[in-house]
Amino acid sequence: MKQYGLNRRGFVAAGAAALVAPRLALAQSSPYVVGTLFPMSGPNAEYGSLFTKGIELALEHIRADNMLKRPITMAVQDSLATPQGGAVGMTKLANVDKAVWVMIGFTGVSKAAAPIGTRSKVMMINGGGVGPDLAGLSPYYWNVIPLVNQEVRVLLPWLQKEKLKRIALIYVDDPLGNSVVQELRKGLAETGGELVGAHSIPPATQQFAAIAARVRDSKPDAVYFASYGAQQSQIIKQLRDNGITQQIITYSAGTIPSVVGLPESEGLIVTSQVSDWEQGDEVTQRFVKDWRAKHNGDPTSYNQNYYNAMRLFALLAQGLEKAGTEVTGETLLAELQRVRRFPLVGGEGVLEDGGTMAMPLQIGQIRNGRLQKIA
């Protein structure tokens, strides 16, 4: 048989190239899949909105700066703020959407989702959950938010200074709430204080008049509550309505607008990470300026954290692209462990062993509908 310029070897090579080339081209142009696993419905949906807004601004900046060669596609799953929702959502993100980077929030959700993400080698970044056991949860799980044990440690000397010794605690019966009970019980005993009552509540409870009666009965100097979402405002309002005049204290979940803006929140003490919007570095200034232009107000620390979480992906993927390395969960992890220090909103972010990020903390008080630093 006569050959027409293409021998058998050449034909096989051309065939193989024809088969592989579109896939290569597709691989080079196909978008990076980045997932979110936030509560997007139900009583904690306010957090989902806050988290997502931070990511949206980061995406705008990533696109404007042409940071990456390939586009980013977002895959959104509703965690419902429950462990079950977290497990289902992470399974879909890892196995169906093939996300390489998932931004996650809430302690219970994280603990349920982390084993699934780890099995699939998906990088998971938390900017909202604060349970102490989120440190070291998995090599693929990293926190860009200080954890609640650090917040309690900052609070204890302040309680001592203010002579608030008898503390009543209202806490959601979940991994976060239980860790707060342990931290407070241990910390108060060490600083001469006392936990005079620890009242656990299910996450969906909405009536607190009776709990206020129990709290009042224990004659505390201050009331600490560890809850999240819409329930926080209900606790504050009903405690105040039902005659609790003592100091009320909570952790960083109380920085959301619905809590800060509630009239009954006046005087509320909130521990949180320092959010200094006047910081001079370029990344922070750009974030704050564009945020104010877009949302007509100051960002919250949650907006900052998830902006950072999204920006962190872009910085890592950019490094990998420059090195000609494929962007996967494994390579992102390796790049993160190699670099460790990143220019983020709030200054240089240093990711430490144990999956945490060092960050200064503050004690704030709500005064005239604004959270103001007092210590």
Partner 1 sequence: MLFLQLFISGLQTGAIYALTAAGFALIFGATRVFHVAHGATFALAGYAYLACTDAGLPWPAGALAALVLAVAFGLAMDAFIYRPIQRHEGSFFTVFVAAFGMSIVVQSVIELVFGRGFVTVSSALTMARQVAPGIYLADIFWVAAGVAIALFVLVTLFLERTRAGIGLRALSENPELLRAYGLSSRRLSAMAFGLGSALAVPGAILTTMTSGLQPAISHQVMLISLAAAVVGGIGSLRGAALAGLLLGVVENLVIGVLDTQWSAAAGFVVLFAFILFKPSGLFGQAVTR
> In the complex, which residues of this chain contact partner 1 (CB under 8 A)?
41-43, 45-46, 48-49, 170, 173, 199-202, 204-211, 213-214, 216-217, 229-234, 237-238, 240-243, 256-258, 262-264
Cβ closer to partner 1: 12 or 209?
209
CB-CB neighbours of 141 under 10 Å: 24
CB nearer to partner 1: pick between 177 and 355: 177
Tell me how far apart the alpha carbons of residues 142 and 127 are, in angstroms, rounded to a whole number.
9
Cβ proximity to partner 1, 146 vs 229, nearer residue: 229
Smallest separation, CB 258 to partner 1 (Å): 3
CB nearer to partner 1: give 157 or 257.
257
Looking at the Cβ atoms of 227 and 356, the one nearer to partner 1 is 227
Q: Which is nearer to partner 1, 202 or 280 (CB)?
A: 202
| Least distance (Å) between residue 217 CB and partner 1 | 5
Cβ closest to partner 1, residue 46 vs residue 335:
46
Compare residues 237 and 286 and give the one whose CB is closer to partner 1.
237
Smallest gap from Cβ 210 to partner 1, in A, equals: 4
**What is the closest distance, in whole angstroms, from the C-beta atom of residue 123 to partner 1 in the complex?**
27
Q: How many CB atoms lie within 10 A of CB 347?
A: 16
Q: How far is the CB of 42 from partner 1 (least distance, A)?
A: 5
329 Cβ contact list (under 8 Å, min separation 6): 100, 101, 120, 121, 122, 123, 140
Q: How far is the CB of 254 from partner 1 (least distance, A)?
A: 12
Tell me how far, at minimum, the Cβ of 81 lies from partner 1, in Å.
Answer: 11
- One-letter amino acid of 245: T
The minimum distance between CB 228 and partner 1, in angstroms, equals 11
Question: Which among 274, 227, 239, 268 is positioned nearest to 365, based on CA atoms?
Answer: 268
User: CB of residue 351 vs partner 1: minimum separation in angstroms?
Assistant: 31
Q: Which is nearer to partner 1, 134 or 253 (CB)?
A: 253
From 232, 237, 302, 317, select the one nearest 272 (Cα to Cα). 302
- Choice between 69 and 214, CB closer to partner 1: 214
Rounded to the nearest whole angstrom, what is the least distance from the CB of residue 47 to partner 1 in the complex? 9
